[in-house]
Amino acid sequence: MKKKNIYVTKPSLPDLKTFTVYLKKIWDNKIVTNNGPFHRKFEDSLCKYLDVPFVSLLSNGTIGLILALRALDIKKEVITTPYSFIATSNSLIWNNIKPVFVDVCPNTFNLDPKKIKAAITPNTTAIMPVHVYGNPCDVDEIDLIAKKNNLKVIYDASHAFGVECHCGSILKHGDLSILSFHATKTFNTFEGGAIISKNKEVKEKIDKLKNFGIINETVVEEFGINGKMSEFNAALGLLQLKQIDNDIKKRKKIDIYYRNKLNSVVGITCFSYTNMKKGNYSYFPILVEDNYGLTRDQLYYKLRKNGIYARRYFFPLITDFKIYKSKSSFNIAKKISNKVICLPIYPELKIKSIDLIIKIIKNKF
Ligand code: T4K
């Protein structure tokens, strides 16, 4: 029998029977989108679950980043990280904003506050940090820099659903935080996303912007766009909320299992979370060091040859893509990017599969 491939992730889905009950309701009332009953209920439930004041549901995380910048009227230059998924900086380009990239910290893999300070110019209007792998940024320091320099902070919290730092939900920091509910994320609604805001006026502006800027039949107040979440995604989201704690528990077990088995492997460093009170274990990044015996790519392709589709998130750096090609060098981000492999992690992943992955990593030939 042909062995099944193992991918970096597999979306966790609720029992199909429970989803069909919700689908039947959608079929019966014929409201499939535009702030329907599931949408309203999911927004309320998310506010409670995440312990945040306002949630605006969206069709995906990328539109969230684009709309957040728009809602706060961000212009000119924004400081951001080269160590992220391309959507982070693309959202700036879509708003005609110049991304100013600065290097990351070697221990957090997130924006280095010292380097943020050094990159501020009279044109800087905001900072867009990313909680990479759900690992909290240095939020206190970033909030302080922003306050001192009158800058807005928009966190790309795509990886950080449910994450808590020393003072509770990570999503309470900055002016806005953006979540992704993509199939590959810890919490998924197939596709989807949300903006977390702190005050009613900003939420109302975001809600206007995601619905073409429409106020009513005869009034359009903003150059909005369509960023709405459908009833199908919202209904799924409500079901996912029921199982997310259990999913995170299973992920945590896998994280601990990998760590225990890989800590003794010379040349492999497991990424350590910093300043995290509650994690979501969305990724399991390892660094393949020079003394491992194989290069990062040799290990990556060896895993593939064995049907293990781990991923090099985030290689190449955003600044190494031709469309960005920056003259500056980001030595720390570059080093990490050249060493990183994210191993498969998802609730359904079997111990047998993890043991196979560990065996391949331990056998360096
Ligand atoms: N900011 C950050 C920091 C992000 O990481 C992302 C997205 C965003 C913003 C934007 O959020 P969204 O607009 O997407 O909501 C994936 C995801 O497409 C992307 O959402 C994610 N970050 C990024 C880190 O990873 P790919 O190109 O690696 O995905 P793909 O299709 O290769 O999937 C990876 C593996 O997952 C597959 O090999 C198999 C498995 N998979 C995937 C899908 C889509 C499934 O089992 N089922 C599925 O339906 O980008």
- Give the pLDDT confidence score for residue 3 in this predicted structure: 79
Return the structure tokens found at 148: 């001192």
Atom of ligand 1 nearest to the CA of 8: 35
In the 8-state DSSP scheme, what is residue 211?
B
Complete domains list, the chain, with CATH: 16-239 (3.40.640.10), 244-362 (3.90.1150.10)
Based on DSSP, count helices (H) and strands (E) in the chain, helices before strands: 11, 16
Atom of ligand 1 nearest to the CA of 192: 15
Atom of ligand 1 nearest to the CA of 182: 15
Using CA positions, which residue lies closest to atom 5 of ligand 1? 85
- Give the pLDDT confidence score for residue 193 in this predicted structure: 98
**Is residue 1 over pLDDT 90?**
no
pLDDT in tens, 40-83: 999 999 999 999 999 999 999 999 999 999 999 999 999 999 99
Terminal-to-terminal C-alpha distance of the chain: 26
Q: What is the pTM of this model?
A: 0.97
Binding site membership of 68 for ligand 1 (Cβ less than 6 Å) = no
Using CA positions, which residue lies closest to atom 7 of ligand 1? 85
Binding site membership of 9 for ligand 1 (Cβ less than 6 Å) = yes
Distance from Cα 144 to the centre of ligand 1, integer Å: 32
Distance from Cα 70 to the centre of ligand 1, integer Å: 24
Rounded CA separation 307/357 (Å): 10
Widest Cα–Cα separation across the chain = 69
Number of Cβ within 10 Å of residue 257's Cβ equals: 17
- For ligand 1, mutation pick of 5, 132, 184 (most atoms within 8 Å of CB): 184
Distance from Cα 350 to the centre of ligand 1, integer Å: 21
Q: How confident is the model at residue 365 (pLDDT cuts 50, 70, 90)?
A: confident
Using CA positions, which residue lies closest to atom 15 of ligand 1? 61
